[in-house]
A = this chain, B = another copy of it.
Amino acid sequence: MGLSMNRLREFREQAGLTQDRLAVCVKVSRQTINSIEAGRYVPSLELALRLGRVFGCRVEDLFGIPEVDDAGKA
């Protein structure tokens, strides 16, 4: 739910990268980048870390913080 919305596209466009070039940078296929931007699935931790490194930001800046959550938390 929360994670299917991310700021990947925003970061990528601001960096002036195509999906293809970003994909090469982080060593996945172009479709993987596209699917993540489209919210079709959330990346693995490894990929998320690589993306954060490319953009010089925290993983939490790209994905996350949404899920405050479920009441019975603690």
Contact = CB atoms under 8 A, between A and B. Distances in A.
A2 to B, nearest CB: 9
Interface residues of A, number: 22
A3 B45 contact: yes
A73 to B, nearest CB: 8
A15 interface: no
Contact of A45 (B44, B65, B70): B44
A63 B45 contact: yes
Interface in A34-58: 42-46, 48-50, 52, 58
Interface of A: 3, 25, 27, 42-46, 48-50, 52, 58-60, 63-65, 67, 70, 73-74
